[in-house]
């Protein structure tokens, strides 16, 4: 992939995923992919069909963890082997990585490809809705974080998922708020975007629940929030969501290779 392929890849993924992106969402997608093209040029691939982009795969490597961030083939070009070739290229970028992780859409062809590539598929749940503010408990021990807290973020990430998100901190901080909790009993963090929880990790469930409550309290009253990619390992989150008046639905899948679902952890859809 080259920088001038990014906008075509954005259009292609919207079509293949069947989503309508707002102008802001388009810019977010392109900004994120442009960022990953800088950090992981060897993981970003397009399939070229007569000069047009007909497929895309974007993968990243963080420490010894490989993550797939985007994967799509234009609907008019599917079932011709392009998807398999793109996934091979993206997986090849992870050579030497011990573990693999991706959040999959509920697309039967994609799930088939992921399983064939050796991933274990874990069904996920999604909490969504407007927070019942009368249910919010008083939470102490959680405060706003800054760049000075990124060492804490990295140490929690290493413990919970075996790899940091180091090259992505500045990008993620630009579009979300960091909350941290650092107690004698445990520590953790959450990145909160305007649509909901971008990512949350903690060294124990009690700290994770504090952070999730604090994040829900910090959302704009009356506006919907989303907490996604929850495997059954994240019951601590389901319990907070129910208490906060959110609804639970089936989401999609977390696909993992040589890795048990990290917990307590809410994975980022794009960064794992």
Sole binder of ligand COA in the list 91, 110, 142, 179 (CB under 6 A): 110
Q: Give the separation between CA 29 and CA 21, rounded to whole angstroms.
A: 9
DSSP structural state of residue 133: G
Q: How far is the CB of 116 from ligand COA (least distance, A)?
A: 6
Instruction: Point out which span in 1-9, 69-77, 123-131, 199-207 binds ligand COA (CB under 6 A).
Output: 69-77
Instruction: Point out which span in 24-32, 38-46, 93-101, 109-117 binds ligand COA (CB under 6 A).
Output: 109-117
What tokens does 66 get?
Answer: 């490989």
> Strand 265-266 vs strand 196-202: parallel, antiparallel, or unpaired?
antiparallel
CB 78 within 8 A of CB 50: no
Q: How far is the CB of 205 from ligand COA (least distance, A)?
A: 28
Buried residues in 123-157 as b, exposed as e (16+ CB within 10 A): ebbbbbebbeeeeeeebeebeebeeebbebbbebb
Sole binder of ligand COA in the list 1, 6, 9, 16 (CB under 6 A): 16
Size of the site for ligand COA (CB under 6 A): 19
Site for ligand COA in 225-264 (CB under 6 A): none
By CB under 6 A, residue 105 contacts ligand COA: yes
By CB under 6 A, residue 78 contacts ligand COA: yes
Phi, psi for residue 103 in degrees, rounded to 5: -100, 120
By CB under 6 A, residue 122 contacts ligand COA: no
Nearest CA-CA partner of 177 in 237, 236, 219: 219
Q: How far is the CB of 73 from ligand COA (least distance, A)?
A: 4
Instruction: Point out which span in 75-83, 160-168, 191-199, 233-241 binds ligand COA (CB under 6 A).
Output: 75-83
Q: What is the C-alpha end-to-end distance of the chain, expressed in Å?
A: 21
Site for ligand COA in 37-56 (CB under 6 A): none
What tokens does 5 get?
Answer: 């392929």
Question: Which residues in this chain contact ligand COA in the complex, by CB under 6 A?
Answer: 16-17, 71-73, 78-84, 104-105, 107, 109-110, 112-113
């Amino acid at each position: 992939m080259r920088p001038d392929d990014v906008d075509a890849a954005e259009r292609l993924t919207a079509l293949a995923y069947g989503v309508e992106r707002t102008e802001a969402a388009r810019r977010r997608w392109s900004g994120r992919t442009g960022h990953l093209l800088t950090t992981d040029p060897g993981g970003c691939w397009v399939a070229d069909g007569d000069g047009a982009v007909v497929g895309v795969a974007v993968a990243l490597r963080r420490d010894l963890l490989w993550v797939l961030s985007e994967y799509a083939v234009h609907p008019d070009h599917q079932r011709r082997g392009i998807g398999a070739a793109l996934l091979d290229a993206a997986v090849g970028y992870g050579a030497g990585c011990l573990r693999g992780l991706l959040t999959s859409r509920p697309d039967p062809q994609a799930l088939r490809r992921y399983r064939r590539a050796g991933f274990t598929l874990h069904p996920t749940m999604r909490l969504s809705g407007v927070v019942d503010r009368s249910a919010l408990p008083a939470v102490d021990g959680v405060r706003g974080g800054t760049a000075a807290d990124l060492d804490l973020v990295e140490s929690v990430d290493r413990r919970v998922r075996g790899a940091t998100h180091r090259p992505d901190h500045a990008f993620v901080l630009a579009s979300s708020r960091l909350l941290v909790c650092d107690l004698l009993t445990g520590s953790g963090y959450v990145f909160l975007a305007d649509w909901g929880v971008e990512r949350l990790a903690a060294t124990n469930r009690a700290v994770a629940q504090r952070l999730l409550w604090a994040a829900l309290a910090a959302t704009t009253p009356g506006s919907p929030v989303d907490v996604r990619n929850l495997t059954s390992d994240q019951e601590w989150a389901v319990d907070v969501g129910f208490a906060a008046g959110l609804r639970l639905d089936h989401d999609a899948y977390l696909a993992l290779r040589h890795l048990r679902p990290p917990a307590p952890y809410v994975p980022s859809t794009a960064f794992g």
